[in-house]
Structure 1
């Protein structure tokens, strides 16, 4: 295959051009990768019941996420070190994300200010660091750069043990840095001795594993940006996030990269929506690979999805812009096939789940 005809095609194309250890870093999950596989199996088990004779000749995929008009219900998920797959890194993917939110990773390989300037809609993603002063500085920088939302990832007290990276003794290559941290240094992420992941060692040195609800409440009041909490799977956790002021919740198991054996995100979604769906927007992350998955998420109660790995594969072969245009076109087709004139109609579709 020399050209992608759908979003899923990009993975095999990227495998042909990326170093094996970089491909593994992006593709891999934690532990035995049970949850990584489960995300896909669970999405495929969701069947949407389409409407017929709906009299729908055209479908409009546009919607609103966090009060902002977007071209279709997708945001680019926060993903670290995108220069691993392409020299343009985050700048290339941000420019490709026309009309949709681009979520800037705290561990981006370009400074957040440059990425925000390249994006149509920029949100900033934050991990909880040992140095609260650095957290405050990052928030202030995101506000000054024009980011319109703050997303805090709460499911990484420590990095899940990703065995592909351990077996590869994975290190960041020279020149790929955490550009938003002090002096752009990634410290230990460039050094490995034996069967260890240098990226995991770096994370352990700078992340604070003791993030709690009091910290999240402080964060909600630290800026005027709407707060999105990413990494929620339990409905009670979702209720507590709303209680401290979250404007959005992302149902996510980190793409199968954290607790192996955790529930598939799509399976956790309905209970979270039932718990808080009238109080804030709920987004789905983990395992999304195309327009059919977006429809499944909408019909299961999500306002939209975060899309990750497929866009890195497309970036790797310098085709991210085309990939997103094709995805939007595919979503329009899927909406029409389901008898839906718009995203609101998709949210009213019934679903069936195979055991």
Structure 2
């Protein structure tokens, strides 16, 4: 953990973070204490694989199809190298950037990751606290394990965005956005690329989707609109077509759903939840309303009616879609292929970042993700035109290995490596990162 007298929201919070981080680690090593999580990205992932259940690791680490996109996202970074530039005074370095009208202490944000209870019982609370301790904005997932209000209460001083999966129920969308504003979120991130669930082979091999076990639907079961939809479904005539064969696995799934049913049965006992039709109706309702393949550009105008918060569109990869988003008046675009989880053999995001950045010409901020594993990756993305860079899987691995401390160390390590990369490239501010800092391979 970084020890510093500088508050996370102070503009100087991350100045010298690389020196402090290395000093903390090596000093602790004198007493035989090692970091809570591996520092190297590959070792971090392997440690998470050994720690998490097979289902949890598959869900977090897996990609679509044969996972060519996951590989391509990483390979895209291999096509760029950072120029070392010595003999420059880099004793003072500033990681700060402007994003959504606010000066941030670093260009890093945490991407929305759902079902974090698969990694750790504290789930989104732990992530929010870790992010807040380092002054890094956290994008709350629509598929969170805890209601957004609980996460906000766990880290009241943290900076938050809210990710919306556009539901087939406009009333539900409106309600979620109102709650996000009331929870202190600074912007709405509308995820566009999951109107159909990707062909995720690891999950299919295990026949495991956490939502069918009542996991990752807390934003829904805590929502008054969704609860009414559930009540209506539970009261409707039943069909035997949805009957499930009774097996030990089915019983375990029923128990999981029942435990999550407390929000729907006013905290009823587990025995009562097992008898109640509401928990299972909640899962079925979620599967019905989660997304809509009929979503079009015209529908996005509704979001302006539902919220006054800035709107960022996530899942932009094609330059023409970025231009259309700009023409539609959105407040930011998020270049992402969902970490390779939606389309196998998708275009890697880093390959299109320079073209999209050129088209946007600084008119709206650009958030970038997919394939980011360390601070040098962040530096490359910033040099190619990103305003801020979102970190995903690595912090989930940290959460699974060591909870809140694991998340904090992962994020700290990325910031520290970014700081070192900046200095060794002869630069003193993130704003100085551009194509001149890179060599194309």
Structure 2 counterpart of 1:176 = 215
Structure 2 counterpart of 1:342 = 429
Instruction: Pick the aligned partner of 1:115 from 151, 163, 173.
Output: 151
Task: Give the deviation of 1:255 after TM superposition.
Answer: 0.3
DSSP 3-state at the match of 1:283? strand
What runs of 5+ residues in structure 2 fail to find an aligned partner?
1-33, 231-242, 248-252, 254-282
- Contact 1:159-1:258 at 8 Å conserved across structures: yes
Task: Give the deviation of 1:168 after TM superposition.
Answer: 0.3
What runs of 5+ residues in structure 1 fail to find an aligned partner?
none
- Contact 1:8-1:290 at 8 Å conserved across structures: no
Q: For each residue in 1:224-252, what CA deviation from the matched residue of structure 2 results, as whole angstroms up to 9, or x when unmatched?
A: 21111110011111111112221111111
Measured in 2, the distance between the counterparts of 1:43 and 1:192 equals: 46
Measured in 1, the distance between the counterparts of 2:79 and 2:102 equals: 31
Question: Relative to 1, partners in 2 of residues 1:80 and 1:293: Cα closer, same or farther, differing over 3 Å?
Answer: same
Structure 2 counterpart of 1:246 = 330
Instruction: Pick the aligned partner of 1:23 from 54, 57, 82.
Output: 57
Task: Give the deviation of 1:349 after TM superposition.
Answer: 3.4
2:408 is equivalent to residue 321 of structure 1: yes
Task: Give the deviation of 1:100 after TM superposition.
Answer: 1.3
Measured in 1, the distance between the counterparts of 2:200 and 2:289 equals: 17
- Contact 1:169-1:192 at 8 Å conserved across structures: no
DSSP 3-state at the match of 1:306? strand
2:301 is equivalent to residue 217 of structure 1: yes
Measured in 2, the distance between the counterparts of 1:6 and 1:69 equals: 30
2:85 is equivalent to residue 51 of structure 1: yes
Task: Give the deviation of 1:222 after TM superposition.
Answer: 2.8
- The higher radius of gyration belongs to 2
- Contact 2:425-2:437 at 8 Å conserved across structures: no
- Using structure 1 for the length normalisation, give the TM-score: 0.91
Measured in 2, the distance between the counterparts of 1:297 and 1:91 equals: 28
Question: Relative to 1, partners in 2 of residues 1:201 and 1:54: Cα closer, same or farther, differing over 3 Å?
Answer: farther
**1:1-355 map, 5 Å:** 3-97=37-131, 98-119=134-155, 120-172=158-210, 176-183=215-222, 203=287, 205-318=289-402, 319-347=406-434, 349-354=436-441
- Contact 1:148-1:225 at 8 Å conserved across structures: yes
DSSP 3-state at the match of 1:117? helix
Question: Relative to 1, partners in 2 of residues 1:60 and 1:9: Cα closer, same or farther, differing over 3 Å?
Answer: farther
Task: Give the deviation of 1:259 after TM superposition.
Answer: 1.4
Q: How many residues are treated as equivalent by the alignment? A: 348
Q: For each residue in 1:21-72, what CA deviation from the matched residue of structure 2 results, as whole angstroms up to 9, or x when unmatched?
A: 2101111001111111100111122122343433222211122221222221
Query: Over the residues paired in the alignment, what is the CA RMSD in angstroms?
Result: 2.6
Question: Relative to 1, partners in 2 of residues 1:242 and 1:166: Cα closer, same or farther, differing over 3 Å?
Answer: same
Question: Relative to 1, partners in 2 of residues 1:219 and 1:205: Cα closer, same or farther, differing over 3 Å?
Answer: closer
Task: Give the deviation of 1:351 after TM superposition.
Answer: 2.6
- Using structure 2 for the length normalisation, give the TM-score: 0.74
* Runs of 4+ with >6 A deviation: 184-187, 191-194, 198-201
